[in-house]
């Protein structure tokens, strides 16, 4: 837990450490050799997107996929079209 202002904020537990995600293998983003402008994602965002790519690849429609999508949107509101 960390403190921001007067609020206590729960630290997110890695999806890899959660039992409900053990059946999913995240799909990493391929930047390509010599990428001209690689984007510096946080480790948490990179992990969330890896799991999101994986559930989208298999067409999973579930409560956990919905919750994951909401987390991705919270981390990057520019992904509202996911």
DSSP codes of every residue in 33-80: TT-SS-----HHHHHHHHHHHHHHHTT--SHHHHHHHHHHHHH-GGGT
25-67 pLDDT, tens digit each: 999 987 777 777 777 788 898 999 999 999 999 999 999 999 9
Instruction: Give the pLDDT score at 13.
Output: 84
- Give the global pTM: 0.75
Instruction: Give the pLDDT score at 32.
Output: 72
The DSSP code for 16 is: G
Instruction: Give the pLDDT score at 36.
Output: 77
| Residue 53 and residue 30 in contact, taking contact as beta carbons nearer than 8 Å | no
pLDDT band at 1; cut points 50, 70, 90? very low
């Amino acid at each position: 837990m960390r403190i921001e202002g007067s609020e206590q904020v729960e630290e997110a537990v890695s999806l890899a450490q959660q039992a409900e995600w053990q059946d999913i293998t995240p799909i990493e983003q391929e930047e390509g050799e010599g990428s001209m402008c690689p984007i510096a994602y946080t480790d948490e965002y990179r992990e969330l997107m890896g799991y999101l790519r994986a559930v989208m690849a298999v067409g999973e429609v579930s409560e956990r996929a919905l919750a994951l999508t909401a987390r991705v949107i919270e981390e990057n509101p520019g992904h509202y079209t996911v």
